[in-house]
């Protein structure tokens, strides 16, 4: 099935708007607020080890962090993504696999950058080791299932693992960033014993799409707020582990047309080694989001949302726009995944359980209703868009599409 909206169309509609950050978003911090400005790897690490609270990196800088991981505590790293068309400074690694700094400690370990209390990452690009994976004919960037038996496939997959950020405190902020090329997790939140609730907003997360993994935001424990962001080319853009203290509030965001599986997810504990416990998170709220797909890159029916058990509190889906063409009172298909519906609740038998749904719009035949979906009109790229000159528009395309 051909895509109704393409990624290029979505990016065109987002030009000059705040969703996804960049041009159109006015961050409350910039290079002028930096205590020190650096452009090289050595200067960057010197600044991290100094008393500087805010470390600035110009958008022209490219800093290779391969062979390293670092902890950010009480400090802010800021660049100028979106200012005069700047794509923002590039922080990147080529590390991946069991023993690499980008997968330090395994699934419950660190990442390239561990973010502790009072830390912030704003206006930068954070690039993982698989940003230029082009072996799959269906979609460049998708890492398919390897050949061999189950053990061999698992080893091959784990050999590619890399994590961008591990967030370990409530008072952490990630904003106005482009984050891409992470085959396992671009952002991991909390640990089994540490539930945290950071703020993530105005990010562009894409090309994190490996079979069996592939998350932009993976909530292990806690309740982040995720707002005004654009996600595309993922297995699951947002996933959750299933602890009763695990959930998220997701608002005013767009999920693009390229996906391997459903975009918004919450596992149950039974799927993660907790016996037959079908608890699947605590409270999950999805409001005013636009889901610009109905099928996966393999052309099978693909839900936008799948919650895989019972919430400890409640699931809420309100005022979202789904391209799936269904009656608002459709039945939950439960474990039958190949259904052309916008969302399903798994492992619960029939019916909906502790799931509140209201005000959603379905189908592609009607223009977006007022107050429904993210604040961008994919039916009309120019609707409500501020006028910008061509030079600024060219810079904007650079910022959004990461032309390096």
What's the mean per-residue pLDDT of the chain?
92
Residues 6+ apart with CB under 8 A from 152: 146
Give pLDDT, residue 389.
47
pLDDT digits (tens, 9 = 90+) for 119-167: 999 999 999 999 998 888 778 889 998 899 999 998 899 999 999 999 9
Q: Across residues 166-184, what is the average pLDDT?
A: 97
Percent of the chain's residues with pLDDT above 90: 81
CATH class of the structural domain 7-383: mainly beta
Give pLDDT, residue 138.
78
Q: Across residues 8-26, what is the average pLDDT?
A: 95
Name the pLDDT band for 381 (thresholds 50, 70, 90). Answer: confident
Percent of the chain's residues with pLDDT above 70: 95
Give the sign of the dihedral formed by CA 240, CA 242, CA 246, CA 249. Answer: positive
Give pLDDT, residue 231.
98
Q: Across residues 105-120, what is the average pLDDT?
A: 92
DSSP at 13: H
Give pLDDT, residue 109.
85
pLDDT digits (tens, 9 = 90+) for 250-270: 999 999 999 999 999 999 999
Q: Is the pLDDT of residue 402 over 60?
A: no
Kindly report which listed range (59-63, 80-84, 329-333, 392-396) carries the lowest average pLDDT score. Answer: 392-396
Name the pLDDT band for 387 (thresholds 50, 70, 90). Answer: low
Name the pLDDT band for 391 (thresholds 50, 70, 90). Answer: very low
Cα angle, residue 300 at apex, residues 320 and 148 outer, rounded to 5°: 125
Question: How far is CA 120 from its chain centroid?
Answer: 17
pLDDT digits (tens, 9 = 90+) for 305-337: 999 999 999 999 999 999 999 999 999 987 777
Where residue 44 falls (left for φ over 0; alpha for ψ -120 to 50; beta otherwise) is alpha
User: What are the domain boundaries of the chain?
Assistant: 7-383
């Amino acid at each position: 099935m051909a895509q109704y909206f393409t990624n290029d169309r979505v990016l065109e509609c987002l030009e000059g708007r705040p969703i996804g950050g960049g041009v159109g978003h006015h961050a409350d911090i910039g290079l002028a607020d930096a205590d020190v400005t650096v452009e090289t790897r050595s200067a960057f690490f010197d600044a991290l080890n100094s008393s500087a609270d805010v470390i600035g990196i110009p958008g022209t800088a490219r800093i290779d962090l391969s062979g390293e991981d670092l902890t950010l505590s009480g400090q802010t790293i800021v660049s100028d993504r979106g200012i005069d068309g700047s794509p923002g400074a590039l922080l990147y690694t080529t590390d991946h696999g069991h023993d690499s700094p980008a997968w330090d400690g395994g699934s419950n370990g660190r990442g390239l950058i561990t973010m502790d209390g009072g830390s912030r990452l704003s206006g930068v690009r954070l690039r993982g080791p698989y940003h230029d994976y082009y072996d799959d004919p269906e979609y460049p960037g998708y890492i398919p299932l390897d050949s061999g038996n189950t053990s061999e496939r698992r080893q091959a997959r784990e050999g590619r693992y890399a994590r961008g950020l591990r967030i370990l405190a409530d008072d952490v902020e990630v904003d106005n960033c482009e984050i891409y090329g992470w085959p396992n997790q671009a952002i991991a939140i909390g640990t089994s014993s540490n539930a945290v609730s950071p703020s993530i907003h105005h990010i562009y997360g894409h090309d994190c799409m490996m079979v069996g993994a592939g998350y932009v935001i993976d909530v292990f424990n806690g309740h982040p707020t995720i707002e005004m962001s654009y996600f595309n080319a993922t297995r699951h853009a947002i996933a959750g582990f299933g602890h009763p203290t695990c959930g998220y509030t997701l608002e005013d965001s767009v999920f693009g047309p390229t996906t391997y599986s459903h975009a918004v997810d919450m596992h149950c504990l039974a799927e993660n080694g907790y016996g037959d416990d079908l608890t699947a998170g605590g409270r999950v709220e999805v409001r005013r989001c636009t889901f610009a797909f109905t099928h996966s890159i393999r052309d099978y029916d693909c839900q936008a949302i799948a919650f895989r058990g019972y919430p400890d509190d409640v699931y809420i889906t309100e005022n979202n726009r789904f391209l799936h063409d269904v009656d608002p009172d459709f039945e939950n298909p439960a474990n039958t995944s190949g259904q052309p519906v916008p969302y399903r609740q798994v492992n619960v038998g029939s019916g909906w359980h502790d799931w509140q749904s209201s005000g959603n719009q379905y189908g592609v035949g009607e223009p977006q209703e007022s107050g429904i979906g993210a604040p961008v009109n994919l039916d009309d790229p120019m609707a409500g868009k501020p006028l910008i000159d061509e030079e600024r528009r060219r810079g904007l395309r650079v910022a959004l599409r990461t032309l390096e």
